[in-house]
Structure 1
Amino acid sequence: MLYIIGLGLADEKDISVKGLDIVRKAERVYLEAYTAILLVDKEQLEAYYGRPVILADREMVESQSDEILKDAETKDVAFLVVGDPFSATTHTDLALRCRQNDPPIPTRTLPNASILTAVGATGLSLYNFGQTVSMVFFTDSWKPSSFYDRIAENASLGLHTLVLLDIKVKEPDLQAMARGKIIYEKPRFMTVAQCASQMLEVEDERQQGVCGKEALAVGVARLGSEDQQIVAGTLEELSTADLGRPLHSLVLCGKKMHEMEWEFVREFAVDQGTFDQVWKSVYGAQK
């Protein structure tokens, strides 16, 4: 059987008791290592689990899944996922491959906390969130802005938008590849400040008032850990905020933010005076 096991958000101890029992008995244990990362390294997981852990990068999961699924019809294989197993479509695809295998490989999923639910720690109601979007690193020649349309749809309904920020793990250096060499870039993780800056840049082009300088947002870092950080403010304020080491995410607040949400979130504000002023003149006025 293939066990797809959620690890939660922070460290080796966030795994469920059921998940830990399976990991300690499985024939092989893989750690998916590119859609998200834990805040501890592989060696710390291995020490706690008492088992060797095989890192599964994008190439292995997407192109060499047969290696992961080898003998899973008769042996137990554990596939570990940061957060919740089905928060990324990659893992849905892996489960589908198990169904399509001949003979089919039985699967079992063990859920866990993910950013999609942990973001409730900001005080923003999960009932008031719309579509989740992703923000990628801009380059000089590539600045995709399709996220803006999804945020605009959410904004038209007064809903919050969770923005998941880009990470680059084991990304090939394209210039080196052109010379016939396989060299990987240093890992990069987008910050709240980078995300806010890119949103403002796209707003300057679109001019629809979806994510302007005075739009209220909440930046989060390392949710679920002992040193988690939550900072609220305008996008302009967050464009210079420093929330420390990864992983970061950002929430753009919807205009129908309830008073209870406002009261909770304002405690995280960079400047409570500015936060209150914007909320009362724009957000509270929507009531």
Structure 2
Amino acid sequence: MITFVGLGLWDIEDISIKGYNAVKEADEVFIEFYTSRISSSLDEIEKFFGRNVRVLERSDLEENSFKIIEAGKERDVVILTPGDPMVATTHSSIKLEAERRGVKTRIIHGASIISAVCGLTGLHNYRFGKSATVSWHTSRTPADVIKSNLKIDAHTLLFLDLHPSPMRVNDAIEKLIVIDDGLRKVYGVGIARAGSESAVVRCDRLERLKDIDFGEPLHILIILAKTLHFMEYECLREFASAPEELKRLVV
């Protein structure tokens, strides 16, 4: 069997009791830091569980994923994933292929940034449109996704590239403005270290948001829709130090 275990948002203590027990009972334990990361080091993770944990590289998750699937035929295998396992399409592909080959799988979910951003900002979950990733390799895709979402009056959740180093909100905004200078006037929300005691949430126009020091990663960026529900506005004022001028978006 292959069990996908979500580690949650910030550190190893975010894992569920069910997930912890699955790790303790497994024959082999793997972890991947390709799709996301937590603040705990590998040494801290191994000490927490009291066992060896092997780090999976990108190739292990993609072209060589059959090796993990083969291991799951004979042994109980756990794959640890920051956040919630099935948010990443890579893990969905492994699960699908495993089931097709007769290997049973199960999922033990963890807290995801996708839902955490709603709690941190007060934005309504149903107001979000398609998400995208801002990568170090410049691409028009995130700007195009933002524009498509603005047309349907939806918020945009932007994941920030982790490789070769975690991108910061400031870097992401600079890239977006280079792609489309008109984006500097739209409103966004930058979030740093979600799930930690030192989380930072700030809202402003992108041209001002890019100059804010959010501190250490991990960071994520939200581009606001053309309009806001009045409760979204009130929450952003309270939770994200949003400027009063944002009220003009309230309908």
Considering the TM-score relative to the shorter chain, is it more than 0.5?
A: yes
Which residue, 196, 210, 220 being the options, matches 1:225?
196
Is structure 2 residue 206 aligned with structure 1 residue 235?
A: yes
**Tell me, what secondary structure is at the counterpart of 1:233?**
strand
Is structure 2 residue 238 aligned with structure 1 residue 267?
A: yes
TM-score by length of 1: 0.83
Find the counterpart in structure 2 of residue 150 from structure 1: 145
Find the counterpart in structure 2 of residue 77 from structure 1: 77
Find the counterpart in structure 2 of residue 194 from structure 1: 171
State the distance in 1 between where 2:225 and 2:71 align: 49
Which structure has the greater CA radius of gyration?
A: 1
Cα offsets for 1:172-212 (capped at 9, x unmatched)? xxxxxxxxxxxxxxx411100111111112222xxxx5x2x
**Tell me, what secondary structure is at the counterpart of 2:68?**
helix
**Mapping 1:108-119, distance limit 5 Å:** 108-119=106-117
State the distance in 2 between where 1:268 and 1:217 align: 14
Q: Which segments of 5 or more consecutive residues in structure 2 lack a partner in the other structure? A: none
TM-score by length of 2: 0.95
- Note if contact 2:169-2:221 (Cα within 8 Å) is conserved in structure 1: yes
Q: Which segments of 5 or more consecutive residues in structure 1 lack a partner in the other structure? A: 169-186
Is structure 2 residue 158 aligned with structure 1 residue 163?
A: yes
Structure 1 residue 214, shift from structure 2 partner: 2.5
Q: Partner letter of residue 127 of structure 1?
A: Y
Is structure 2 residue 215 aligned with structure 1 residue 244?
A: yes
- Note if contact 2:233-2:247 (Cα within 8 Å) is conserved in structure 1: no
**Tell me, what secondary structure is at the counterpart of 2:142?**
helix
State the distance in 1 between where 2:56 and 2:176 align: 32
Give the percent of matched residue pairs that are identical in Structure 1 and Structure 2: 35
Q: Partner letter of residue 162 of structure 1?
A: L
Q: Partner letter of residue 132 of structure 2?
A: V
State the distance in 2 between where 1:114 and 1:71 align: 27
Cα offsets for 1:155-182 (capped at 9, x unmatched)? 11211110000011xxxxxxxxxxxxxx
Structure 1 residue 27, shift from structure 2 partner: 0.6
Find the counterpart in structure 2 of residue 122 from structure 1: 121
Find the counterpart in structure 2 of residue 106 from structure 1: 104
Structure 1 residue 11, shift from structure 2 partner: 0.7
Is structure 2 residue 110 aligned with structure 1 residue 133?
A: no
Residues 154 and 46 (structure 1 numbering): CA distance in 2 closer, same or farther, change over 3 Å? same
State the distance in 2 between where 1:224 and 1:239 align: 22
Find the counterpart in structure 1 of residue 244 from structure 2: 276
- Note if contact 2:159-2:221 (Cα within 8 Å) is conserved in structure 1: yes
- Note if contact 2:132-2:141 (Cα within 8 Å) is conserved in structure 1: no
Q: Partner letter of residue 122 of structure 1?
A: T
Structure 1 residue 269, shift from structure 2 partner: 4.8
State the distance in 1 between where 2:72 and 2:34 align: 23
State the distance in 2 between where 1:66 and 1:159 align: 39
State the distance in 2 between where 1:269 and 1:74 align: 50
Structure 1 residue 100, shift from structure 2 partner: 2.6
Cα offsets for 1:104-159 (capped at 9, x unmatched)? 10000111111111101111111111111111114xxxx31022222112111211
State the distance in 1 between where 2:132 and 2:71 align: 37
State the distance in 1 between where 2:147 and 2:60 align: 36
**Tell me, what secondary structure is at the counterpart of 1:13?**
helix
Find the counterpart in structure 2 of residue 173 from structure 1: none
State the distance in 2 between where 1:133 and 1:3 align: 27
Residues 98 and 130 (structure 1 numbering): CA distance in 2 closer, same or farther, change over 3 Å? same
**Tell me, what secondary structure is at the counterpart of 2:157?**
strand
Residue correspondences, number: 250
